[in-house]
Every structure is written in C-alpha cells, then in structure tokens.
Structure 1
Amino acid sequence: MKNQSYEVSVTWANDLVGWAEARGLREPIKFSAPPEFGGERGLWSPELLLVLAASSCFLSTLLALAEHNRLPLVGYTAKAEGQLERVPGQGYRFTELVLRPLITLEKESDLPLAHRVLDKAERNCIVANTLSVPVRVEPHVEIVAPAPMG
C-alpha cells in the first residue's frame, strides 16, 4: 500500500464550538471543548474523538484481520476510556487509554484464533501505535449458540 494522506477542515462557529469536515463525508461534526473546560455540553470534544479514534481503529483493524484469518465474528461491542491528568511540567495530557472490546463467536473452537487475532489487532492498530500515551487492550470473548433454524 502506498502512503496515505487524511485531511480535515475545522471552522470556528462560536464560543468554544467548531465544525469539522472532510472531503467525501456526508455529515460534518459539531464539536466543543469538554464541559470541564468551559465547553458546550452534549457535543463531541477533541478528547472524546481521540478515544473514539483509538477504539474505532482497533475495530477496523480487528475486522480486517478477522476476515483475513477467516474468523467468523457474530458480534462486537467495545467500551473505551481515556485518563486525562495534569502532569507536572507538561500540563494536561492523556496518561492512558483503555480499550475493552467484547467479541462474540458461535464456536468455542474459534477461541484460540480469536485471541491470536485480538493480539495482532492490538499490535497493528495504527492510531494506538501513533499515540505516545500507553494504550491497554482488555479483550473479552463470549460464545453464543447459533439461533435455531425454523
């Protein structure tokens, strides 16, 4: 794959609110500083978007690897959390991101492959690899019986 470039445009709206757009996307994103820093409640913040970037990148990486390794996933959900702290001499910064994906499989025999794919997704997540903050992945896998045909 050749090098890629990703470009966004950000426009100030008012107060601590702005709009983000990218060519080819249908909807702009309205964002604000977080309420803790005087921003508007109910809007995405750069801090939430950073946590989302890591979590959604992990999902994209996992899905590509699951397909490549023929791992049939039944479901996926994830919680993600970023710890923002004031670090002496550095100001506020994220000190840790924790991703908690839950993948669902039909067959217990797929568990070893699922764990290998999860490990590889953790090692190959582009966003997590780019960040200087430690990113910890705490995966869980569950097995569900296939629905009866009928």
Structure 2
Amino acid sequence: MSRTATYHTRVTWKGEHWGHIQMGNGPEMDFSAPPEVQGHPGVLTPEDAFVAAVNTCITMMFLWTAERFKLDLVSYECEAEGTKLIELDRTEIFTTVSLRPRIVLRAQDQERPSVEKQARRALESAQKYSLVANSIKSEVRVEPIIEFVS
C-alpha cells in the first residue's frame, strides 16, 4: 500500500537578492541567486541546492545499499556537476547532473572483481531508488572510480 511523507521549508526574503531558508530537519542558512545574475557570492544558491540534492540523495542511498551488500567501505567522496541549458527566451533547465563518486573498498586481490561488481550494483540501486533522481527531468549520470585497499 502506498503512503505519503511531507517535508517543509520556510523561506524569508531579506532584501535585494538575499533570502534565508529554514529546513524542517533543523538546518538554516542564507541563500542568494548566483553572482552572475545579481546574486551574492559565498552562499547557497538554488542551483547549488539542486545539484547537492541529487548528490546527497544518491550518496545516502549508496551508503544504505553498501551496508546491505556488506561492502567494506573505506571512503566515499562524490563530486557532482549540473549542466543547465539557457534558451534564447532565457528559460533554463538542468539537462544533466553528473556524479563522479570515488569509492575506496577493502578487499583481497582475488575478491576484487566480484566486490567491484557488487559496488556497481549498489550504485545502480542507489540511482534507481533515489527520491530526488526519480523526481527530476534531468538525466542523472553516475561515473564512478572504484579503488581498493587490502
């Protein structure tokens, strides 16, 4: 049976191109438009938040799946890049979000091919079950680098 969950944020305008966001889970911070569109540097932008939402959601799903697969995870770091298309009429859309996770796993030499296969399956599962990735129009690409230590 299906069920629902709700999430809340509150945005307050602070003047000019400044705002403050409070998230239902507790964090709060200032935000602005990007500097190239009259915003301010050094704070969260909607574009940053969009790319971060994809990155963090897939990361959390990967970590959850890696636990279930009993992968011996040493480290995980993921850089993400969102590419937006700006049309002549100035409408914009993120066309792709590319994630480049660097995953370090512990495995003996003879185990590495099967462990790498499991790690790739865990990433596929993370992408498949990511709420954020499933909720956007953009293509999500995951391009992992998987390394091993003994």
Tell me if structure 1 keeps the 8 A contact 2:103–2:145.
yes
**C-alpha deviations, 1:74-127, integer Å up to 9, x for none?**
100011001122135671111111111111101125212111111111222110
Give the counterpart letter for 2:143 in structure 1: E
Q: 2:12 matched to which residue of 1?
A: 11
SS at match of 2:54: helix
Q: TM-score, normalised by structure 2?
A: 0.89
**C-alpha deviations, 1:23-56, integer Å up to 9, x for none?**
341x311110001111001111000000000000
Q: 1:32 matched to which residue of 2?
A: 32
Q: TM-score, normalised by structure 1?
A: 0.89
Residues 120 and 23 of structure 1: CA distance in aligned 2, closer, same or farther (over 3 Å): closer
- Aligned CA RMSD, in angstroms, stands at 1.6
Q: 2:53 matched to which residue of 1?
A: 53
Identity %: 35
Q: 1:143 matched to which residue of 2?
A: 148
Q: Distance in 2 between matches of 1:124 and 1:23?
A: 22
Aligned residues: 144
Q: Could you tell which deviates more after superposition, 68-77 or 88-97? A: 88-97
| Cα displacement (A) at 1:22 | 2.1
Tell me if structure 1 keeps the 8 A contact 2:7–2:24.
no
Structure 2 gap ranges (5+): none
Q: Distance in 1 between matches of 2:126 and 2:16?
A: 39
Structure 1 gap ranges (5+): 146-150
Q: Distance in 2 between matches of 1:96 and 1:66?
A: 25
| Cα displacement (A) at 1:71 | 1.6
Q: 2:117 matched to which residue of 1?
A: 112
Where do 4+ consecutive residues of structure 1 move more than 2 Å? Answer: 87-90
